[in-house]
Homo-oligomer: A and B are copies of this chain.
Amino acid sequence: MARREFHPEDHPFGVSVGRLVNRLAALPGVGRKSAERLANHLVSCSAAEALELANAIKDVKDRVKRCQKCFNLTDSELCPICRDPRRDQTVVCVVEQPKDVTSLEAAGVFTGTYHVLGGRIAPLEGIHPGDLTIEALLKRIRDDNVKELVMATNPTLEGDGTALFISNRLEGQPVNVTRLARGIATGSVLEFANREMLADALRGRQAF
């Protein structure tokens, strides 16, 4: 369905609801009809419920920053995973984005820690190794005596290239570089893989 221009003042409930519908429809994966339904819910629900959502959004913008160690998102100096004494600091899973941490955590089989690169090397888009957190990763591998690095960049040309670049930088160092088993279809993105696929891919991780 084509997205039609929509003016908030034309909404049958007035401009406040019209603006809310527009803001909701701008969220990823939310169409006009879902936005209407969500706005209806927010208008009709208790003030407490709606304000809790509004405040949760504000809190996230006020508090969430990057973990000082792994660059995951967090509301404290270190993210919950880096803070957790049960997580193995010597096994580090390298991902492109924080959302990949969420996906892998949902699979529930990985007991090491993460490192979030903040993207992948893509010279054509002007993204170079220096734009990612690769130097911090190399320092961390030395400082924490990391034994295993699990490459979980997206199974795309750029993701594989980034993993290879990091692997090359580690040549001669006593760190075992593995990567996720290719249960994941090449060219896809981690975010949309289901828990079972990711759990299998983690269990079957291979030497890089």
Interface residues of A (CB under 8 A from B): 9-17, 19-20, 23-24, 26-30, 34, 36-44, 47, 49-61, 63-64, 72-76, 79-81, 98-99, 101-102, 105, 191
Contacts and interface: CB of A to CB of B under 8 A. Distances in A.
A80 B196 CA distance: 50
Number of copies: 2
Given A28-B41, A37-B29, A99-B40, A59 B19 contact: yes
A36 B102 CA distance: 8
Given A20-B59, A24-B53, A54-B57, A13 B43 contact: no
Contacts of A37: 28-29, 99, 191
Contacts of A57: 20, 42, 50-51, 53-54, 57
B55 A14 contact: no
Given A54-B57, A60-B17, A73-B17, A80 B38 contact: no
26 contacts: A10-B80, A11-B80, A11-B102, A12-B80, A13-B73, A13-B79, A14-B73, A14-B79, A16-B59, A16-B64, A17-B73, A17-B75, A19-B56, A27-B41, A28-B38, A29-B37, A36-B99, A42-B57, A42-B60, A43-B60, A43-B73, A43-B98, A51-B57, A51-B61, A53-B57, A54-B58
A14 B64 contact: yes
A12 B103 CA distance: 10
A159 to B, nearest CB: 18
A127 B117 CA distance: 58
A5 to B, nearest CB: 14
B36 A76 contact: no
A131 B51 CA distance: 28
B16 A75 contact: yes
Given A38-B27, A56-B23, A64-B17, A12 B102 contact: yes
Nearest to A103: B36
